[in-house]
């Protein structure tokens, strides 16, 4: 356990600088976005009401009030979020390959540590999880701050205050529901599915690192197999009798399949790390 | 310990932030206003079995669906996640069947037309087919019979006979009579619709009879026939008659080669299951079936007509003709006129009509009326109102999507 924690700490510290810089970009860019969007809205409102002499009520009904919705659709807001997602997606691969292709083959030292090699694998996947949840948490902390800035800048009659859920359901970015689901159960399910996917990817990387060119094919083969096994209950049901299981039963079966696939992936990775990995 | 500070901080931040976010959002759900049905006059027990589905909107952007009964309102998000998955809303009678006969209902469609239920049996009949690139083929009846007394299920499949020319078919109604299953289907051949009746013997699992019972004959080249089953107040219940509306559609050429479809004739046809005969229903002058909503329960057709503040129901008994004309007024306690474009949601069950106006907002309440279709008396009037006064009055509203009787 102690070894594992040390490794997690070590892995996290290796990306920490980049990570915190990205958090800072998220903070600055989004707050700038709130300020710019509000300024724009206010300038436009002033121009319309004082220069074009449109009555306030008519202006509101024609152009609508200001809300975080308008901020969300600007590149200042959604851009850095996309950057964070991209970083995590990219780092899933880089977290392994940097150890082989870095200045000195660092993997050599990692694998020589007097601890189970699986701990290296688990520490890396924990780091990916920490990064992901860290972004989500940071965004959730940022949102009330941004809302407050909007409140300071735009007077109440020109403004609609939205909670995170209201913002997502009223915006066009319904994909954000995957990142910030409505309930804690959906949160666990979504990120659980993400975890399964990352273990499959890691296993594919292990295949590649063990057998190189041949390993790429093995890795792809393993990934396809894992996905088929994961969706097997649904596929079988399509062929035998549609809608045989109730949705809640499918969910339970799928959770079980997710656990099975994850265990298989970790077991295969463990075997490859122990016996087949090449440095 | 010191060297772990980054990990510790990020761990705490994650747990606190995501934790409070979900605790807070769990608490805000109950912040939506609760709605109640408040009695104005009549007998409160009349609305005990009424279920009203609707959507609540605040600030015109946020919509949340809810169910309203005499016990108050319940929002979708207040239901447990698993319950939401297995179907919140939907058709009440199907949902009840799923709760009562969970295993029997596996893989069954959600249409009450495909079911038949009496004290002894619950029967399901549907047509399965394979869709290939040209047309659907390989039509099969898929039948399930649940003997509720002995708790036995019998499921089987039979090929549908004589399907060579068939484009498409679907089941309109399932009935049972003397141990035989009667399945009414709408069969579409070359754009023309016809109603067929298949009789199946349950014990031997065989089709014992098949005939075309209603069709459009003598159609011209630019005409096509349409046949629709009249919506039944309770499609699952046993009934002697099945009613269809038969109409002829004609393509009329407009200028420059455009065609417009026009209905040239329509009539109601009743099929009597006991005598195995169909006969047209000669409706009195003042009722024109196609312009009104019609509902049917075994021996009575109800013609429903609405105006902004009223619902007028004319029952027509198959063997006696028109029996009265009953007018029920929907007006809220502030005596607001309903707007012309606002429609009502109306259902008929057990000789009673249930009508509810579709919208409630700060200015006016939605009105619910229950009326007897035997005496024409208004049995109950009530209003859907928020339990506590709404906070953002101006922008909040409740829209009724449907009303069902349990």
Report the C-alpha gap between B213 and B195 in whole angstroms. Answer: 6
Taking residues A1-6, what's their average pLDDT?
A: 86
Find all residues with CB under 8 Å of B154, minimum gap 6, and list them: B144, B145, B147, B202
The answer to which of A84-88, A128-132, A182-186, B184-188 has the lowest mean pLDDT is A182-186
Which residue of chain B has the CA closest to A23?
A: B10
Taking residues B145-161, what's their average pLDDT?
A: 90
pLDDT at position B106 is 87
Taking residues B128-141, what's their average pLDDT?
A: 76
Taking residues A207-212, what's their average pLDDT?
A: 94
Confidence of residue A119 (pLDDT cuts 50, 70, 90): very high
Say whether B25 and A242 touch across the interface (CB within 8 A): no
pLDDT at position A216 is 96
User: Is the confidence at residue B71, as pLDDT, over 70?
Assistant: yes
DSSP run (H or E) holding A44: helix A2-46
Q: Are strands B136-147 and B310-317 parallel, antiparallel or unpaired?
A: unpaired
Q: Which residues of B touch A (CB under 8 A)?
A: 3-4, 6-7, 10-11, 13-14, 16-18, 21-22, 25-26, 28, 59, 61-63, 77, 81-83, 85-87, 98, 102, 106-108
Q: Are residues B23 and B38 in the same domain?
A: no
The distance of B7 to chain A (nearest Cα, Å) reads 6
Q: Are residues B270 and B201 in the same domain?
A: yes
Say whether B106 and A243 touch across the interface (CB within 8 A): yes
Task: Identify the three-state secondary structure at position A1.
Answer: coil
- pLDDT, tens only, A61-117: 888 888 888 898 889 999 999 999 999 999 999 999 999 887 777 888 888 888 899
Residue pair B73/B386 in contact by the 8 Å Cβ criterion: no
- pLDDT, tens only, B295-348: 888 788 888 888 778 888 888 888 888 888 888 888 776 666 655 556 788 888
Total count of domains within chain B: 3
User: Is the confidence at residue A58, as pLDDT, over 90?
Assistant: no
Q: Are residues B124 and B264 in the same domain?
A: yes
Question: How open is the CA angle A38-A40-A42, to the nearest 5 degrees?
Answer: 70
Q: Are residues B156 and B23 in the same domain?
A: no
- HSE at residue A272, side-chain half, CA atoms within 13 A, is 25
Which of B239, B262, B282 is the endpoint of a domain? B282
Q: Are residues B143 and B164 in the same domain?
A: yes
Q: What residues of chain A, 12 to 51, have a C-beta less than 8 Å from chain B?
A: 12-13, 16
Which of B262, B282, B302 is the endpoint of a domain? B282
Give CA separation, B74 vs B54, B80, B151, B364, in Å: 10, 12, 34, 21
Chain B residues whose beta carbon lies within 8 Å of the beta carbon of residue A160: 59, 61
- pLDDT, tens only, A168-192: 877 777 788 899 988 888 999 999 9
Q: Are residues B136 and B246 in the same domain?
A: yes
Across the interface, of A133, A170, A244, the residue whose CB is closest to B106 is A244
pLDDT at position B387 is 83
Q: Which two tokens stand for residue B134?
A: 């040209």
Taking residues B166-176, what's their average pLDDT?
A: 89
Q: Are residues B171 and B249 in the same domain?
A: yes
Q: Are residues B192 and B76 in the same domain?
A: no
DSSP string covering B35-92: EEEEEEEE-GGGGTTEEEEEEEEETTTEEEEEEEETTEEEEGGGS-HHHHHTTSSS-H
Q: Are residues B235 and B351 in the same domain?
A: no
Residue-number span of the structural domain to which B3 is assigned: 1-28
User: Is the confidence at residue B291, as pLDDT, over 80?
Assistant: no
Confidence of residue B266 (pLDDT cuts 50, 70, 90): confident
Report the C-alpha gap between B252 and A17 in whole angstroms. Answer: 74
Q: B27-56: buried (b, 16+ CB within 10 Å) or exposed (e) per residue?
A: eeeeebbebbbebeebeeebbeebbbbbeb
Give CA separation, B200 vs A19, A213, B160, B209, B349, in Å: 70, 63, 11, 7, 29
The answer to which of A196-205, B202-211, B257-266, B378-387 has the lowest mean pLDDT is B257-266
Taking residues B234-249, what's their average pLDDT?
A: 87
Q: Are residues B315 and B254 in the same domain?
A: no
Residue B176: how many other CB atoms lie within 10 Å: 21
- pLDDT, tens only, B3-55: 888 899 999 999 999 999 999 887 776 667 888 888 888 888 888 889 898 88
The answer to which of A43-57, B41-55, B97-111, B383-397 has the lowest mean pLDDT is B383-397
Give CA separation, B368 vs B119, B267, B374, in Å: 32, 32, 19
What is chain A's mean pLDDT, rounded?
A: 91
The interface predicted TM-score (ipTM) is 0.90
Q: Which residue has the tokens 């098949």?
A: B210
pLDDT at position B59 is 66
Report the C-alpha gap between B43 and B51 in whole angstroms. Answer: 17
């Amino acid at each position: 356990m102690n070894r594992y924690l040390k490794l997690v700490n070590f892995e996290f510290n290796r990306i920490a600088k980049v990570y915190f810089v990205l958090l800072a970009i998220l903070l600055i860019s989004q707050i700038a976005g709130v300020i710019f969007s509000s300024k724009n809205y206010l300038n436009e409102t002033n121009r319309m009401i004082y220069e074009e002499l449109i009555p306030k009520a008519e202006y509101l009904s024609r152009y609508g009030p200001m809300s975080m919705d308008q901020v969300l659709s600007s590149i200042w807001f959604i851009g850095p979020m996309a950057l964070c997602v991209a970083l995590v997606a990219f780092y899933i691969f880089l977290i392994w390959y940097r150890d082989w292709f870095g200045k000195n083959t660092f993997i050599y030292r990692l694998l020589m540590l007097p601890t189970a090699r699986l701990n290296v694998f688990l520490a890396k996947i924990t780091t990916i999880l920490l990064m992901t949840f860290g972004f989500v948490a940071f965004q959730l902390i940022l949102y009330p701050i941004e809302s407050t800035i909007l409140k300071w800048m735009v007077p109440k009659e020109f403004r609609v205050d939205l909670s995170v859920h209201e913002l997502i359901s009223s915006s066009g970015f319904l994909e954000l529901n995957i990142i910030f689901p409505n309930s804690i159960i959906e949160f666990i399910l979504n990120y659980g599915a993400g975890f399964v996917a990352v273990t499959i990817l890691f296993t594919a990387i292990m295949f590649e690192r063990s057998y190189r060119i041949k390993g790429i094919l093995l890795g792809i083969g393993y990934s396809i197999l894992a996905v088929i096994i994961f969706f097997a209950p649904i596929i079988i049901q399509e062929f035998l009798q549609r809608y045989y299981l109730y949705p809640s039963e499918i969910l339970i079966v799928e959770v079980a399949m997710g656990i099975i696939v994850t265990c298989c992936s970790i077991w295969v990775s463990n075997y490859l790390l122990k016996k087949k990995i090449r440095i | 310990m010191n060297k772990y500070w980054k990990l510790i901080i990020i761990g705490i931040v994650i747990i606190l932030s995501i934790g409070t976010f979900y605790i807070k959002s769990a608490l805000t759900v109950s912040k939506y206003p609760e709605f109640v049905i408040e009695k104005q006059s009549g007998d409160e027990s009349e609305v005990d079995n009424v279920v009203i589905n609707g959507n609540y909107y605040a600030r015109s952007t946020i919509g949340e669906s809810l169910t309203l009964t005499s016990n108050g309102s319940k929002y979708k998000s207040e239901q447990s996640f698993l319950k939401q998955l297995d179907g919140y809303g939907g058709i009440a009678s199907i949902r009840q069947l799923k709760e009562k006969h969970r295993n029997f209902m596996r893989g069954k469609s959600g249409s009450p037309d495909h079911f038949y239920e009496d004290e002894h049996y619950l029967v399901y009949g549907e047509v399965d087919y394979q869709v290939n690139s040209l047309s659907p083929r390989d039509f099969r009846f898929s039948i399930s019979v649940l003997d509720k007394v002995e708790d036995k299920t019998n499921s089987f499949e039979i090929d549908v006979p004589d399907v060579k020319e068939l484009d498409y078919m679907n089941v309109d109604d399932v009935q049972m009579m003397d141990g035989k299953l009667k399945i009414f289907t709408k069969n579409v051949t070359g754009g023309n619709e016809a109603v067929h009746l298949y009789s199946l013997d349950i014990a031997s699992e065989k089709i014992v009879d098949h005939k075309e019972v209603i069709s459009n004959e003598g159609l011209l080249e630019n005409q096509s026939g349409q046949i629709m089953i009249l919506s039944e107040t309770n499609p699952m219940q046993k009934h002697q008659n099945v009613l269809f509306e038969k109409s002829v559609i004609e393509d009329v050429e407009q200028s420059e080669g455009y065609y417009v479809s026009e209905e040239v004739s329509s009539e109601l046809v009743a099929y009597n299951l006991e005598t195995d005969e169909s006969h047209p229903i000669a409706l009195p002058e003042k009722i024109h079936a196609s312009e009104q909503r019609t509902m049917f329960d075994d021996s009575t057709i109800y013609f429903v007509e609405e105006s902004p503040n009223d619902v007028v129901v004319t029952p027509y008994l198959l063997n006696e003709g028109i029996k009265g004309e009953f007018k029920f007024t929907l007006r809220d306690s502030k005596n607001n006129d309903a707007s012309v474009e606002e429609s009502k949601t109306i259902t008929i069950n057990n000789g009673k009509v249930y009508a509810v106006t579709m919208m409630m907002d700060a200015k006016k309440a939605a009105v619910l009326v229950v009326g007897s279709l035997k005496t024409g008396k208004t049995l109950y009037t009530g209003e859907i109102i928020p339990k506590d006064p709404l906070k953002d009055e101006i922008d909040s509203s409740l829209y009724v999507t449907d009303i069902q009787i349990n």
